[in-house]
Amino acid sequence: MPAPIPSPQPDASAPFNDPAATPSYAERTRRLVPGYDDMLRMAGVLAAERAPADAQVLVIGAGGGAEIATLAQMQAQWRFTGVDPAQPMLDLARETLGPLMDRVHLHHGYVDTAPQGPFDAATCILTLHFVTPDERRRTLQEIRRRLKPGAPLVIAHLSFPQMPEDEKQRGFARYVAFAVSSGVNAADVQNAATVMATRLTILAPTDEEAMLTDAGFTGVQVFHAGLAFRGWVAWA
């Protein structure tokens, strides 16, 4: 099991509960996360490999609505249960999804209070790096309990190998350079990089894969790698 990492500071995810900050979330994420839109489409492709045409899909960290919107546009019969602890982000999801809300149930809270399913697929994009290893392990176990046997789980978040401090700083510098090249204000990007470095729980990819296996998932495969971000697909 991976060694425990200190919990993120209480304000690491505070912007998600700030109604003034949520409207710019989707565009800001597209500029900060390499390949964000393609990542969401890949999640849809991977989930559809085993999910039926009328799948019930569990989306953890659904606030904002971009993830559900992408999947719903790819699969016209899928229905979604979106879970998020931040009410302003759920409000933004409702606005983003518009008429697609006919196929969506939004749950304010965490996965342990979410509907039991069973679900045909699950996704958890850009969420797990906000929680401690123990909380992450429990979240994966709760997702696994809600999936049908063989159902896919697609996750993606910050993850990079443990490395000397100078190499780690070089990695953060690349992230800053990418975001600035995407049009994000340099000071804002530097602040985001500081949060990443000091307040978020970032594990090595090998530890991430071990945690998925420990939670009961099989066939863990990497499907995305973009600077400090990694994505995996696995099956219940």
The DSSP result for the chain, as a single string, is -PPP-PPPPTTTTGGGG-TTTGGGHHHHHHHHSTTHHHHHHHHHHHHHTTS-TT-EEEEES-TTSHHHHHHHHH-TT-EEEEEES-HHHHHHHHHHHGGGGGGEEEEES-GGGS----BSEEEEES-GGGS-HHHHHHHHHHHHHTBPTT-EEEEEEEB-----HHHHHHHHHHHHHHHHHTT--HHHHHHHHHHHHHTS--B-HHHHHHHHHHTT-EEEEEEEEETTEEEEEEE-
Q: What are the pLDDT digits (tens) for 176-197?
A: 888 888 888 888 888 877 877 7
Residue 200 has pLDDT above 80, yes or no: yes
Domains and CATH numbers, the chain: 14-162+202-235 (3.40.50.150)
Identify the residue with better confidence: 167 or 16: 167
Predicted confidence (pLDDT) per residue in 82-138, tens digit: 999 999 999 999 999 999 999 999 999 999 999 999 999 999 999 999 999 999 999
Over range 212-226, report the average pLDDT: 97
